Amino acid sequence: MTEIVMPRLSDSMEEGTIIRWLRSDGDRVERGDELVEIETDKATMTYEADAEGLVHIVAREGDTLPVGTLIAHLLLPGEATPTDGGAEEPARASGTGSDDGGGPATPSSVGPPPVVVSSDGPPATGERVKASPLARRLARELGVELTGLAGSGPGGRIVKADVQSAASRALTTPTPAAAAAVAATPAQAPTAPAPAAAPAGDGGTAKGHVTITEPTRTQQLIARRMAESRATIPAFTLRTSVDMTDAVALRTQLKQAGHQPLPSYNDLIVKATALALRHHPLANSSYKDGRFETYSRVNIGIAVATEDALIVPTIFDADHKTLTQIGEEARRLAERVREGTITPPELSGATFTISNLGMYAITGFEAVINPPQAAILAVGSIQQRPTNHNGEITLRHQLDLALSCDHRILHGAPAAEFLAQIKQTLENPLALAL
């Protein structure tokens, strides 16, 4: 018998959510067969079986579990199904919306008063309400009673949409008990001016109709890591302006010569940064678990925006790649991120991160350090500005860079030298094309 546990699919992964089992109980799988879809702090990924056998599922779809928690067994022919806990629900990480295991979730003591929702199809007396962890969590937050709520999920399971729909109905439709209580209350003359009524058609609140969206697992963990970065890293930021006139001219020449693929300005920045990291090892380091880690490889993470998250795939050994190789790899990785086909190795191992918002006409910004890395480079747009060049005021193409650093490992002087080398290389870009 082989135990399948929640795998660590990325450097920062601490827990994962079972999105969908790709095999059923009793199915036979071979080594390398796709077994389960798991959502991590980076993306949703498919995990392949690392052994062969008959599948015995322990963790259910929707369960959020710490890395290393048992999720399934692979049984050899003739082996009995485990009975010591196999039918029990695995322990979940905190904050997933599961109840205490006995019965339906109850509203929290903090927050809005309970909303009593009536619907068809209540469960039999003593029957445990079937609901996803997200639905249970949302029900507690909104004060929705799950008992009596009809589920639209598999096997009648209550899902997030059912809870949201019930809460929306409850805002505008009073329960029979509430209506009877209102009818039985004698009319009284008002003793004070009535509060202003909410605008008509707003669903009963002054803010209009409220739509509540549960963050994805990726969004939750990104939020936690960014809050951790701001709260725990003593960061400072250095800024500089780069004269990109020669870089613009070089790219124009490559375009006129029919060079394909044509390198983007971000490709130039990645290459220049990689060369600078080779000579400034403190910038290519991390402060982790109270120790300094310095890396021999220069692996640059490039931030790629998706519809609901920011994913950072890695260009490995960027200091040894040509501009053409960097451009091809960057475009391939960005496409795989947006298609949702990016793999764990492509999201791991970065030693430095670049975030570029220049394509949105942002002139400059300060990026949040991706822990435990020592620094992150924020890149703005290239703009023509009057500049003193060789004693004359002329229009030159200018680029603003901002380097945010962890002061525990990368101090002001070495950080300034690192940023100055990036600037110098970009202002003399011919070496980047060689």
Which of 7-16, 247-256, 283-292, 410-419 has the weakest average pLDDT?
A: 7-16
For residues 309 and 300, give the distance between their C-alpha atoms in angstroms, rounded to a whole number: 19
For the segment 143-191, what is each residue's pLDDT rounded down to a tens digit?
788 887 888 765 677 877 788 778 777 655 555 544 444 444 444 544 5
Q: What is the dihedral of CA 330, 12, 352, 366, to 10 degrees?
A: 100
CATH topology of domain 2-75: OB fold (Dihydrolipoamide Acetyltransferase, E2P) (2.40.50)
pTM of the model: 0.62
Average pLDDT over residues 138-143: 76
Residue 407 annotated among the catalytic residues of the structure? yes
CB atoms within 10 A of CB 320: 12
- List, for residues 33-73, the tens digit of each pLDDT value: 999 988 876 677 888 888 999 999 999 998 888 889 999 99
The pLDDT of residue 146 is 85
On the CB side of 341, how many CA atoms lie within 13 Å of its CA? 6
**Separation between Cα atoms, residue 366 and residue 226, nearest integer Å:** 13
Q: Which of 18-27, 124-133, 137-146 has the highest mean pLDDT?
A: 18-27
Q: What does each C-alpha distance from 324 to 93, 319, 422 come to in angstroms?
A: 44, 13, 19
Query: Residue 46, Cβ neighbours under 10 Å: how many?
Result: 15
Reading phi first (left if > 0) and then psi (alpha if -120 to 50, else beta), residue 74 is in beta
Examine the pLDDT at 113 and tell me if it is beyond 50: no
What's the whole-number mean pLDDT along residues 224-238?
91
CA within 13 Å, CB half, 359: 8
Cβ atoms within 10 Å, residue 23: 18
pLDDT grade for 207, boundaries at 50, 70 and 90: confident
CATH no., domain 218-433: 3.30.559.10
Catalytic residue (choose from 279, 280, 397, 407): 407
| C-alpha to C-alpha distances, 265 to 268, 306, 379, nearest whole angstrom | 5, 21, 10
Q: Do domains 2-75 and 218-433 have the same CATH topology?
A: no
Q: What is the pLDDT of residues 311-330, one digit of tens each?
A: 899 999 999 999 999 999 99
Would you state the pLDDT for residue 345?
Answer: 86
Is the CB of residue 135 less than 8 Å from the CB of residue 144? no
Q: How far is residue 287's CA from residue 213's CA, in Å, rounded to a whole number?
A: 35
Residue 204 and residue 172 in contact, taking contact as beta carbons nearer than 8 Å: yes
Q: What is the pLDDT of residue 182?
A: 42
> How confident is the model over 97-119, as a mean pLDDT?
38
Strands 352-356 and 375-389: parallel
Q: 244 near 398, Cβ under 8 Å?
A: yes
Do 403 and 375 form a contact (C-beta atoms < 8 A)? yes
State the DSSP string of 354-396: EEE-GGGT-----PPP-TTBSEEEEEEEEEEEEEEETTEEEEE
Sign of CA dihedral 18, 23, 28, 30: negative
Q: What is the structure's pLDDT at 105?
A: 38
pLDDT at 220 over 90: no
**What are the structure tokens assigned to 141, written together?**
């937050």
Mean pLDDT in residue range 419-425: 97
> 20, 272, 13, 285: which is closest to 132 by C-alpha?
20
Domain locations along the chain: 2-75, 99-177, 218-433
